[in-house]
Amino acid sequence: MNRVGLQYLAGDLSGGNARCIAMLQAFQEAIRDYSTPPEKTLTRDLTSKIGGFVSFLIECRPLSMSMGNAIRFLKSRIARLPLTLSESEAKTTLCSDIDRFINEKIVLADKVILRHAATKIRDGDVLLTYGSSCVVEMILLYAHELGKQFRVVVVDSHPMLEGQKLLRRLVVKGLSCTYTQLNAISYVMHKVTRVFLGASSIFSNGTVYSTVGTASVAMVAHAFRVPVLVCCEAYKFHERVQLDSICFNELGDPDAISKVPGRVDVNYLDNLTDKQKENLELLNLKYDATPSDYISVIVTDYGMIPPTSVPVIVRGYRKEYLLI
Amino acid sequence: MWWRSASFILDRQQHQNRTVAPSPESFLLSSPPPMADSPLNPKSNISAYYQTRAAHHAVVTSDWLAQAQAAVGRHSDDDGSLGDDKGAAPIGGGGGGGEEEGSGKAFSVIDEFNSWRKQPALAEAVAAIRALAAVIRTSEATTMMELEIELKKASDSLKSWDTTSISLTAGCDLFMLYVTRTSALEYEDFNSAKSRLIERAEKFGEISCKARRIIAMLSQDFIFDGCTILVHGFSRVVLEVLKTAAENKKHFRVLCTGRPDRTGLRFSNELAKLDVPVKLLIDSAVAYTMDEVDVVLFGADGVVESGGIINMMGTFQIALVAHSMNKPVYVAAESYKFARHYPLDQKDMSPARRPIDFGVPIPSKVEVETSARDYTPPQYLTLLFTDLGVLTPSVISDELIQLYL
């Protein structure tokens, strides 16, 4: 658990799916090592222990939506354990439930998304993606394996520069890529035929909550009438409705945006007096919200749905997964 | 196809070179349907669906229909199992004109389908549904698994007869789902389960037949006295809607478009028989006359998951003009036309070609755009009239999710 928390803190582990899987596997270990203290029931004590772990993780880095959903699933499974089970049986049941969750909701869901999204890639396409989403990377590599001929434009932004990781993995596999920064997006967009984006979560009104900068990409694509495909597993859907990016967000390290990596001469903000610094606020937001009008289709493991159908999935199928 | 590049000449050459040696993976892309496989449909590159409609519209008038119905009524083999048809849609739905008695061993679903299809007022998908119901009835399977496999095979052969027809594919899929989705199947013995399946199949066939009447009734509220309606091409559903309105003594005017396959002409012919004032337009005159229009009414070849429709070429154009001039656009479509496609743009569908006759021979170096249909995105549609009710475009996906998942 400590290891996972430190990984979050250091930023080694990023991306909704990776963080969620790491957290669930850490929970599995914790459950296996757990033993009920005398005079306490398994369900209540384990739930409070899990709560303790979650607070620790939140200290390291605020939870993503997918992690929140996974924790809710775990707590409901614990609460639903029949009281007649012995401790070891309960522990094995929980561990296998977690395994099933990871397998069905993430691994298999990704496979289904790959198949659907690959049908939308044609020969001669120019595909644009922003930042580094594991699902989009899988889609691009899968389409490449199928033999489709297409080019990729990877758009990136400071300070995280996540696109470079994606770029490296694509170039190594032999895809022809172009790399550019977010400020050049309207220059590049007229050549693009499809935009593929990942999402951290999708809200009930169809708003896509994703890495900061995604909304700009989607809006520019919409202005150029390029279809925007958001690829997201269904377990990341959330009942919440968010109208803008500010009301719920995560702050990153403010110093990261006052410096440009590799350019020590860009140090205009270094020698400010404390009095001057009072006037300055460095805002490093991690997420932003893209309104549903700019999204053409959401590709999930339930198929390709329009953004207006997200509440249908949330309403109809969230109960199903809570009852796995 | 011109991609977003000025070097379309180079691209086209590359495209031609590539299509010479097709790669096996390209089956996932929109490639022309493999017409050579089905001997029943020898004409390649031409969409059979649009062939059929052209064939029908070349000869069909209401008088002919009445005669055909009378003729069919004389020959019907009323073996009782088709009795439910008598109460169904008044035009052409009655009679079992094609079912051969004692054809048990050599039962071909395609033959059955073709015999149903001969009635021109019957939609293709409904003919397919009836044919599949007949498959269940005449099946000699002894277990549920066998029956389902037989159904699946029949459905696949029907779908491959014309791969460009969306309503046919969707109708077959929905039939399979509707019929096999009963929870009581596990408990009963085979014969009662089979009769349950037959019951559901007949019911689905009946619903599909009656769909047009239901749609006509639902849409009456949207046609008011003194309104001007713009229609495109020849849609049998729209014809039913307007017929019902005329029977209810509503006063309205219709503007028809639909060249070059003369469907607009045929439609105006039908309306003239109902004593409805009709005006014919060329497709290019739609923007010119849009000021006078109150309501735009389309049929649909298919309704897709985004809530948009796929319909005869020219629909998107009219919808765009209507949207920019704030006129409501209504679509009348039966629910078996809901398909799980999701086109992202006009070229994202499998192509359906139709021969276009300009009246004069075309020079050999000139290309002609022969696509028969286009896609209208949901933001240009106001409401859809279906037998499930009057729906907004965003509800289509809701319905599809409930049907398929």
- The arithmetic mean of pLDDT across residues B353-363, rounded, is 81
Average pLDDT of chain B to the nearest whole number? 76
- CA A25 to mean position of chain CA atoms: 17
B256 domain-assigned: yes
Same structural domain for residues A58 and A148? no
Q: Are residues A54 and A193 in the same domain?
A: no
Q: What is residue A251's predicted lDDT score, i.e. its pLDDT?
A: 87
- A93, A110, A127: which is the final residue of a domain? A110
How large is the average pLDDT for residues B315-319? 95
Most confident of A35-44, A170-179, B104-113: A170-179
Partner A contacted by B306 (CB < 8 A)? yes
> What local confidence, expressed as pLDDT, does residue A293 receive?
93
Tokens of B180: 């096999």
Q: Which long-range contacts (CB under 8 A, 24 or more apart) does A92-95 make?
A: A94/A31, A95/A28, A95/A31, A95/A32
Using 50, 70 and 90 to split pLDDT, how confident is the model at B92? Answer: very low
In this prediction, residues B137-156 reach a mean pLDDT of 82
Residue A37 forms contact with B (CB below 8 Å): no
* pLDDT the model gives residue B176: 81
Q: What is the pLDDT of residue B13?
A: 59
pLDDT (tens digit, 9 = 90+) per residue, B332-343? 999 889 988 899
Q: Look at residue A86 in the predicted model and tell me its pLDDT.
A: 83
Write down the pLDDT at residue B6. Answer: 47
With pLDDT > 70 as the criterion, what percentage of chain B qualifies?
Answer: 72
- Decide if A124 is inside a domain: yes
Q: Does B10 touch chain A (CB under 8 A)?
A: no
Q: For residue range A48-100, list pLDDT tens digits in order.
A: 888 888 898 888 888 888 888 889 888 888 888 887 888 888 888 889 999 99
Q: Do residues B379 and B252 share a domain?
A: yes
Structure-block tokens of residue B71: 């003729």
pLDDT, residue B38, reads 38
Q: Both B188 and B221 in a single domain?
A: no
Of A304, A308, A313, the CB nearest to B342: A304
Residue B35 is predicted with a pLDDT of 39
Distance CA(B198)–CA(B112), nearest Å, equals 16
| A7 touches B at CB < 8 Å | no
> Does residue B331 surpass a pLDDT of 50?
yes
Nearest to B397 among A124, A191, A308 (CB): A308
Q: Which of B2, B349, B397, B403 to mutate to probe the A interface, most A CBs <10 Å? A: B397
Which of A307-311, B22-26, B165-169 is the most confident on average? A307-311
Dihedral (C-alpha) B404, A297, A204, B328: value to the nearest 10 degrees?
Answer: -90
Task: List the single residue in B4, B23, B405 with the smallest CB-CB distance to A191.
Answer: B4
ipTM for this prediction = 0.82
Provide the number of structural domains found in chain A.
2
Shared domain check, B256 and B135:
no
Judge whether A295 lies within some domain: yes
- d(C-alpha B158, C-alpha B247), whole Å: 37
Which pLDDT belongs to residue B370?
85
Say yes or no: A309 contacts chain B, CB-CB below 8 A: yes
Q: Which two tokens stand for residue B282?
A: 């060329």
User: Which pLDDT score, from 0 to 100, does residue B72 have?
Assistant: 58
Nearest Cα residue in chain B from A190: B4
Residue B55 touches partner A, C-beta closer than 8 Å: no
Instruction: Report the residue from A118, A227, A309 with minimal CB separation from B398.
Output: A309
Residue contact A123–B344, C-beta within 8 A: no
The phi-psi region of residue B102 (left if phi > 0; otherwise alpha if psi is between -120 and 50; otherwise beta) is left
Task: Give the CA distances from residue A22 to residues A55, A74, A101, B85, B250, in Å, rounded to whole numbers and listed in that order.
Answer: 16, 14, 13, 61, 67
Do A18 and A49 lie in a common domain?
yes
Does residue A38 belong to any structural domain of this protein? Answer: yes
User: How many domains are contained in chain B?
Assistant: 2
Q: Suggest the residue from B31, B401, B404 to mutate for an interface test with chain A (most A CBs closer than 10 A).
A: B401
Whether A258 is covered by a domain: the verdict is no
Percentage of chain A lying above the pLDDT 70 cut: 96
Q: Among the three residues A110, A133, A163, which one is the final residue of a domain in this structure?
A: A110
Q: What is the pLDDT of residue A186?
A: 93
Q: What is the pLDDT of residues A183-233, one digit of tens each?
A: 999 999 999 999 999 999 999 999 999 999 999 999 999 999 999 999 999
| Choice among A312-316, B1-5, B178-182 with the minimum mean pLDDT | B1-5
Mutate to test the interface with B, among A119, A191, A192 (most CBs of B within 10 A): A119
Distance from CA of A323 to the nearest CA of B (A): 17
Across A150-154, B99-103, B357-361, the highest mean pLDDT is recorded for A150-154
- Choose from A225-239, B41-55, B57-71 the range with maximum mean pLDDT: A225-239
Which of A118, A229, A305 lies at the smallest CB-CB distance from B397? A305
- Is residue A39 located within the same domain as residue A179? no
Q: What is the pLDDT of residue B37?
A: 39
Asked if residue A275 is part of any domain, the answer here is no
CB of A191 less than 8 A from some CB of B: yes
Under the banding of pLDDT at 50, 70 and 90, the label for residue A13 is confident
Task: Give me the domain span that covers residue B301.
Answer: 215-354+370-404
* CATH number of domain containing B160: 1.20.120.420
Give yes or no: residues B196 and B244 share one domain. Answer: no
Q: How many residues does chain A have?
A: 324
Please indicate whether, in this complex, the C-beta atoms of A306 and B28 are within 8 angstroms of each other.
no
Nearest to B337 by CA among B312, B313, B305, B376: B305
Mean pLDDT of B8-36: 46
Domain that holds residue A134: 112-249+285-318
Specify the pLDDT at position B32: 39
pLDDT score recorded for residue B400: 87
Tell whether B74 is within 8 A of chain A (Cβ). Answer: no
Specify the higher pLDDT residue, B28 or A128.
A128
Counting one residue from chain A and one from chain B, the pairs whose CB atoms sit within 8 A come to 64
